[in-house]
Amino acid sequence: MILRGLTAALAKRALQAVVVAVAVATIAFFALLSLPGDQAMRIAAGRYGYDIADTAAAALVRAELGLDRPLVERYLLWLADLARGDLGRSFVSGERVVGELAHLFRHTLVLAVTAFLVGCLVGLPLGWLAGLSPGGLVDRASLAAAVLARALPGFALGILLILLFSVGLGVLPAAGYGSVDALVLPALTVGVGLGGAISRVARDSTVAATTAPFFAFARLKGLSALQALLRHGVRNAAVPVIAYLGVQLAQLIEGLVIAETLFAWPGLGHAMVHAIVARDVPMVQGTALVLGLMFVALNGAVDAASLAADPRRRAAA
């Protein structure tokens, strides 16, 4: 039963992935072309610096990349390459997009997963504790903390963290990548805001679970509060939290762009912003594709977790 539900869910996600890939790539292609400014000129500025990018340099770029060919032809060529798994070469660096993405994806994934774990580690226990005594001290304090964490822009939080831990205490590097200690501040920057939101959802679902009739019944039949919570509370409280985590992924990716830029962390989000500025179509398509697929994969994981946690959904699936 579980297996069938999972397989169906995953198959649905796989199909979705293909649709997302084509849609994202197509939108990226046409959106970039519809941006104001001359594409060849932007690429030349991205390559050679705007001082050197003049109309002559733009003409060379246009000829080299075939930018004067009809739009449809370029799009179909790109689609054919994509079908073969070839994402082409960056217009700016001239490197294979696949190779560049591999480097960037590794770092983005490390940061995303760590930030996600930070969010869960901060948010879940806090939410459960708050939910066990609604209106109590933990509940009120965590509400204030969550509002603050959520309201603080990532950029400001990042700078505050650097000021505290790098400039003030001198215990962590301010920016850069490649060592475990360099991961701490960017992961906190992304994770803390996420944790704030998670804690509120976890709190509400814990309150809902512990005040539900089945919980009262569990206590009535003689289970201790802890037993009732472990047996009947956690799983029920987990369902909305898992669903909410799926929604939060979009915010996670947005947070990554900011953290990557501030902490000089090599990542997809930061690279995508640069590629958009430079009108580097293959690179934008590549980064958007990976981020889109990452989104689908994470949603798939959320589906699987929801199914595992909630038997009613399995019946529905």
Binding site for other proteins (CB under 8 A): 36-38, 41-42, 44-48, 50-58, 60, 92-95, 100, 103, 159, 162-163, 166-167, 169-178, 261-264, 266, 270-271, 274
Q: Give the Cα separation of 42 and 57 in Å (integer).
A: 10
Closest to other proteins by CB, 73 vs 95, is: 95
The DSSP code sequence of the chain is -HHHHHHHHHHHHHHHHHHHHHHHHHHHHHHHHHSSS-HHHHHHHHHH-TTT--HHHHHHHHHHHTTTS-HHHHHHHHHHHHHTT---B-TTT-SBHHHHHHHHHHHHHHHHHHHHHHHHHHHHHHHHHHHHSTTSHHHHHHHHHHHHHHHS-HHHHHHHHIIIIIIIS--S-SS--SSHHHHHHHHHHHHHHHHHHHHHHHHHHHHHHHTSHHHHHHHHTT--HHHHIIIIIHHHHHHHHHHHHHHHHHHHHHHHHHHHHHTT---HHHHHHHHHHTT-HHHHHHHHHHHHHHHHHHHHHHHHHHHHH-HHHHHH-
| Residue 109 C-beta: closest distance to other proteins, Å | 16
| Residue 163 C-beta: closest distance to other proteins, Å | 7
Q: Give the Cα separation of 82 and 220 in Å (integer).
A: 61
Closest to other proteins by CB, 51 vs 85, is: 51
| Residue 230 C-beta: closest distance to other proteins, Å | 42
| Residue 168 C-beta: closest distance to other proteins, Å | 9
* 100, two tokens: 């560049």
| Residue 46 C-beta: closest distance to other proteins, Å | 7
Closest to other proteins by CB, 78 vs 265, is: 265
* 36, two tokens: 């104001």
* 234, two tokens: 């956690």
| Residue 66 C-beta: closest distance to other proteins, Å | 16
| Residue 65 C-beta: closest distance to other proteins, Å | 13
Q: Give the Cα separation of 258 and 278 in Å (integer).
A: 19
| Residue 149 C-beta: closest distance to other proteins, Å | 21
